[in-house]
């Protein structure tokens, strides 16, 4: 235990313990999901994004400050070449206990085994429709079958639990809520329903709340019972009482969970982002490229942790700066 740290995290100004780092490895994505990208795709150049060694260096310092959990995200993390090499570098860092990855699953089949061998523990797959045509429409042209193959391979190699994240969008895919729930009930899927976050600000988009989603499931698929599934995140889990599948609800909008927020974000271009839904960012790339030593990196990490706002203000104001694709969710 070092000064200012708890054994597993550094406390922020609101007494929240920060022990989880979400790392965006690229802003590039092979999908164009209707809600995630506004069509303006300006990609960062090769020199703009942090190298794997730079990411590992920042993570090593973060681990010394008590970060134990790391999640790789993007853009689509699996479009960046050799991402398993980054997993190997992170696995070797003392104190990092859990490395997971969030993916759209389309490139997973070919990479699941090497990711597992490199030390990746778990995987989340974002999937918003079980209907091939609709999936293609939502994602801008990809094949649902590739995602299913990726999920099966992840399961086969032991990247488990494979959690499925569905962003519920009224009028677009909310008629599939019960179909997803039945996958949990009948096929042991771990499905998490995520409230759509209107980056455009309060009331810009219609939001279906978790209580409405839960009502629909219980009416058509059976009663849900509170249960528990491992993870470092804010989901509330339920099961149907039998079978191994689970249903999770993540409700950033209707049930703000900022009081339990334990995370810090690192963007692909080397900015520490204290809050997903707040545009404040702290540049750590300049420090690392200008010869900043460990003490300087630690000070920047601490500054970012202390800058975490008490809560998000999504209801009051839009998130102006970046799209979700550029932050990593
Ligand atoms: N490409 C990876 C993937 O598809 O999982 C990682 C990046 S993606 C930006 C991370 C997650 O953010 C996905 O689950 C996506 O559905 C979710 N997401 C994007 N925009 C969102 C929004 N406005 N509200 C809620 N979730 C959103």
CATH code of the domain containing 42: 3.20.20.70
| pLDDT at residue number 319 | 62
Which two tokens mark 208? Answer: 């279906």
Beta strands in 5-161 (DSSP E): 5-6, 9-11, 17-18, 20-24, 69-73, 98-103, 122-126
| pLDDT at residue number 206 | 56
Please say whether the beta carbons of 100 and 50 come within 8 A.
no
Instruction: Note the helical H segments in 207-277.
Output: 210-221
- CB atoms under 10 Å from CB of 190, counted, come to 24
What pLDDT band is residue 100 in, cutting at 50, 70 and 90?
very high
| pLDDT at residue number 246 | 94
Query: Which residues, listed in sequence order, are joined to residue 284 by a DSSP beta bridge?
Result: none
- Does the pLDDT at position 126 exceed 90? yes
Q: What's the rounded mean pLDDT across residues 1-23?
A: 77
Residue nearest to atom 11 of ligand 1 (CA): 329
Cβ(26) – ligand 1 distance below 6 Å: no
- Does the pLDDT at position 4 exceed 50? no
Beta strands in the chain (DSSP E): 5-6, 9-11, 17-18, 20-24, 69-73, 98-103, 122-126, 162-168, 190-195, 225-227, 236-239, 246-250, 263-266, 271-273, 282-283
Question: Domain of 294?
Answer: 10-162+260-327
- Residue 128 alpha carbon to ligand 1 centre in Å: 10
* Residue 177 falls inside a structural domain: no
* Residue 102 falls inside a structural domain: yes
* Residue 299 falls inside a structural domain: yes
| pLDDT at residue number 228 | 74
| pLDDT at residue number 29 | 93
| pLDDT at residue number 7 | 54
| pLDDT at residue number 198 | 76
What pLDDT band is residue 1 in, cutting at 50, 70 and 90?
very low
- Residue 5 alpha carbon to ligand 1 centre in Å: 31
| pLDDT at residue number 38 | 62
- Does the pLDDT at position 147 exceed 90? yes
* Residue 107 falls inside a structural domain: yes
- Residue 315 alpha carbon to ligand 1 centre in Å: 19
**Does residue 125 or residue 205 have the better pLDDT?**
125
| pLDDT at residue number 321 | 65
Judged by DSSP in three states, 145 sits in helix
Q: What percent of the chain has pLDDT over 90?
A: 71
pTM (whole model) above 0.85: yes
* Residue 38 falls inside a structural domain: yes
**Distance (Å, rounded) from C-alpha 324 to C-alpha 307?**
20
**Distance (Å, rounded) from C-alpha 166 to C-alpha 126?**
6
Cβ(249) – ligand 1 distance below 6 Å: no
**Distance (Å, rounded) from C-alpha 268 to C-alpha 326?**
8
C-alpha 90: how far from chain center: 17
Minimum mean pLDDT range among 20-34, 58-72, 252-266: 252-266
Q: Give residue-wise pLDDT tens across range 46-56.
A: 899 999 999 99
**Distance (Å, rounded) from C-alpha 168 to C-alpha 197?**
10
Number of domain units in the chain: 1
- Residue 104 alpha carbon to ligand 1 centre in Å: 9
* Residue 81 falls inside a structural domain: yes
Q: What is the mean pLDDT of the chain?
A: 89
Phi, psi of 304 (to 5 degrees): -65, -40
- Does the pLDDT at position 204 exceed 80? no
| pLDDT at residue number 252 | 78
Q: What's the rounded mean pLDDT across residues 163-171?
A: 94
- Does the pLDDT at position 244 exceed 90? no
Please say whether the beta carbons of 180 and 191 come within 8 A.
yes
Atom number, ligand 1, closest to the C-alpha of residue 73: 6
Residue nearest to atom 5 of ligand 1 (CA): 103
| pLDDT at residue number 278 | 86
* Residue 246 falls inside a structural domain: no
- Residue 326 alpha carbon to ligand 1 centre in Å: 10
* Residue 210 falls inside a structural domain: no
Q: What's the rounded mean pLDDT across residues 287-293?
A: 97
């Amino acid at each position: 235990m070092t000064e200012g740290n708890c054994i597993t995290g550094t406390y922020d100004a609101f007494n929240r313990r920060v022990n989880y780092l979400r790392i965006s490895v690229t802003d590039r994505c092979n999908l164009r999901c209707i809600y995630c990208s506004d069509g303006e795709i300006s990609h960062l150049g090769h020199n703009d994004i942090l190298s794997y060694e730079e990411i590992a260096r920042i993570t090593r310092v973060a681990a010394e400050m008590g970060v134990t959990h790391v999640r790789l995200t993007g853009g689509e993390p699996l479009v960046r070449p050799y991402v398993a090499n980054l997993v190997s570098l992170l696995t070797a860092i003392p104190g990092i206990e859990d490395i997971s990855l969030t993916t759209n699953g389309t490139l997973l089949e070919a990479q699941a085994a090497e990711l597992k061998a490199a030390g990746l523990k778990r995987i989340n797959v974002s999937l918003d429709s079980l209907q091939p045509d609709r999936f293609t429409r939502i994602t801008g042209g990809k094949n649902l079958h590739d995602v299913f193959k990726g999920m099966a391979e992840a399961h086969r190699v032991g990247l488990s639990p494979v959690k499925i994240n569905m962003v519920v969008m009224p009028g677009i895919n909310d008629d599939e809520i019960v179909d997803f729930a039945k996958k949990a009930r009948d096929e042991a899927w771990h499905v998490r329903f995520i409230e759509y976050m209107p980056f455009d600000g309060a009331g810009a988009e219609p939001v279906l709340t978790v209580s409405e989603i839960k009502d629909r499931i219980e009416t058509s698929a059976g009663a849900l019972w509170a249960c528990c599934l491992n993870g470092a995140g804010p989901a509330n889990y339920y099961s149907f009482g039998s079978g191994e599948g689970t249903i999770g609800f993540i409700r950033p909008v209707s049930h703000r969970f900022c009081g339990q927020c334990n995370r810090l974000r690192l963007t692909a271009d080397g900015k520490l982002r204290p809050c997903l839904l707040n545009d404040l960012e702290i540049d750590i790339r300049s420090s690392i490229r200008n010869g900043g030593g460990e003490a300087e990196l630690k000070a920047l990490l601490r500054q970012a942790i202390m800058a975490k706002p008490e809560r998000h203000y999504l209801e009051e104001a839009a998130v102006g700066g970046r799209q979700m694709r550029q932050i990593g969710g």
